[in-house]
Chains A and B, each alone.
Chain A
Amino acid sequence: MTFSPGFLGLLVYGSLIWCALSAIGLTAFLVRDLMRGEVW
């Protein structure tokens, strides 16, 4: 029993998109914290 190409694609593209969204999310958090004066 082996992993299918579809699963491999889901894993790879999913992780890359997840990483890209993480970078956007982190930047958004920073902007929000900056506007609230809550960076540190």
Chain B
Amino acid sequence: MSKADALLDPNIGWLLLGAFSVLWIGLGIYWGRRNKSFEDHALAGRNIGLALGTATAAATWITSNTTMLAPQFALQLGIWGMLAYSTASFGLLLFAPMAGRIRALMPHGYTSGDFFRLRYGRGAWGIFLVFTLFYSLTWLVSMAMAGGILLNALSGIPYAWGMSVILGVCVLYTMRGGLAAVIGTDFIQSLIIIIGIVVVGFAVLSHVSIDAIHANLSAERPALLDMLFPAAIMAIFNNLLFGLGEVFHNNVWWSRAFAYREGVAGKAFALGGLIWFPVPIAAGFIALASGALNVAVPASDMVGPLVIAEVLGKAGAVAIFVIVFCSLASSIDSLLAATSDLLTEDVYRRMFRPAATPARLKSVAQYVTLALGIFTWAVCLPRIGTLASVLFFAGPLVGAMIWPIVTGLYWRSANSVGAVGGMLLGAGAGLVCYFAIGFYVGALVATAVSMVWVLACTRFSKSRFDWAKLKETA
């Protein structure tokens, strides 16, 4: 997008980018001073309280997709679209009881990979690592790429510069501060995002009434108000399953379950889910107001910023820039930290250096974060625009891991044959349907096939797992 088309003056964009960059890096360095070992760096000393725990669960799940895609969903799928997007919060809500159990069963655990290795053995562990690393790296690259594209669209900052700055800032403070910096900044970012959405929402409502929005939609796009909009109702199931699979397997969430103080994990995830639930509606309804406000929408993925800038002028453009920047940072830093921990714990320590000292592991985790940043930057620089489809491609892999995790956490009879078969058969069937039918059935089929296999293997298994094996110490 050219500078003339951008919503915000590039100089103001650079000023905001510089100010927040200095703030996040400064806090990262400050909070990182107390980290002496890998446990301090990766899990913030396993002592996170309820306030920070709740905020980081909500903030990490509020990605740039939430603030940018929710309006697009509303514009395309109407009221059901906003509600469908909100169902992604069920991932956090349903993970709440699991997080408490994870913390109790694995008081010395570091990653979701530890669970697969100890619960199902090395075969299932290897498959899990391939699946989760593919998904995590794809998500990381798509977030960094979205950062460059959005900062360019909002302020005219060149794509390569915007992407490089936001990625570089997140790498720097995550390297220096570890999970403590990620969670600390998440608290501030979550407040900025939520307050920003509330202010912008009420400001838009001061320019147009709900009745006017409804009347315009009834006249111009009645399908958006339809209670039986088939595509929108299907989107509910798609979003729900995607959210469950992502939260249940990814080390972003498991690392938080390990990092929370005893007794906090369940409450923090449940409250995080409740905080997240209204965000897609509060951010999404703005798109429904575009018709009543006579705002031209040349690109549906920019409908939110366009309406806000049109109604609120420069202040609105500044607000959306800050909200998007915080949404991006709160997700990129979490992905960097969690993926770095996974590579350090599951690959470096468990495969190559079991005797590595805590200080050495901390140092390795920092270098891995840097390497992840460089890798992501190199992939993002050419600005290939097809990553959304790659992320959907990961849907079957994510869906196939739901049942091995849930049954493995609660049932002694869940076993490695079920887990390995469930992941491979589920992912295979899901991918076949992904190519044969469409992206929207991939996760659904993978979850269903994996469920049948895992439940059958569990039903006929004679083995009974000893939960004490999960209490492995370093």
Interface residues of A (CB under 8 A from B): 1-5, 7-9, 11-16, 18-20, 22-23, 25-27, 29-30, 32-33, 38-40
Contact = CB atoms under 8 A, between A and B. Distances in A.
A22 B281 CA distance: 14
Given A27-B191, A30-B51, A8 B210 contact: yes
A26 B198 contact: no
B321 interface: no
A40 B44 contact: yes
B210 A12 contact: yes
B197 interface: yes
A39 B49 CA distance: 5
B201 A16 contact: yes
Nearest to B86: A15
Interface of B: 44-45, 47-52, 54-55, 58, 79, 82-83, 180, 183, 187, 190-191, 194-195, 197-198, 201-202, 205, 210-211, 213-215, 218, 222, 225-228, 261, 271, 274-275, 277-279, 281-282, 285, 288
Contacts of A3: 79, 225-227
Contacts of A27: 191
A32 B51 CA distance: 8
Contacts of B261: 38
Contacts of B58: 22
B52 A23 contact: no
Nearest to A26: B55
Among B52, B215, B222, B261, residue most surrounded by chain A Cβ atoms (within 10 Å): B52
B282 A16 contact: yes
Contact of B47 (A2, A16, A40): A40
> Which of B49, B201, B218, B225 has the largest number of chain A CB atoms within 10 A?
B49
A15 B278 contact: yes
A5 B210 contact: yes
Contacts of A38: 49-50, 261
A39 B52 contact: yes
A15 B285 CA distance: 10
Mostly, the B contact residues are helix
Given A5-B210, A5-B211, A26-B190, A20 B54 contact: no
B222 A2 contact: yes
A5 to B, nearest CB: 4
Given A33-B50, A40-B45, A40-B49, A26 B191 contact: yes
B54 A26 contact: yes
Given A11-B79, A19-B279, A29 B54 contact: yes
Given A16-B282, A38-B49, 12 more contacts: A2-B218, A2-B227, A3-B225, A5-B215, A11-B82, A12-B210, A15-B279, A25-B275, A26-B190, A26-B275, A30-B52, A33-B51
A21 B280 CA distance: 16
A19 B54 contact: no
A8 B212 CA distance: 11
Contact of A18 (B205, B210, B278): B278
Contacts of B279: 15, 19
B50 A23 contact: no
A39 B52 CA distance: 7
15 contacts: A4-B214, A5-B214, A8-B213, A8-B225, A12-B201, A14-B278, A16-B278, A16-B282, A19-B201, A19-B275, A19-B279, A26-B194, A38-B49, A38-B261, A40-B45
Contact of A33 (B49, B82, B83): B49
Contacts of A20: 194-195, 198
A7 B227 CA distance: 11
A2 B48 CA distance: 46
B279 to A, nearest CB: 7
Given A8-B213, A11-B285, A26-B187, A19 B49 contact: no
A15 B190 CA distance: 16
Contacts of B194: 19-20, 22-23, 26
B33 to A, nearest CB: 13
Contacts of A14: 278
A3 B217 CA distance: 11
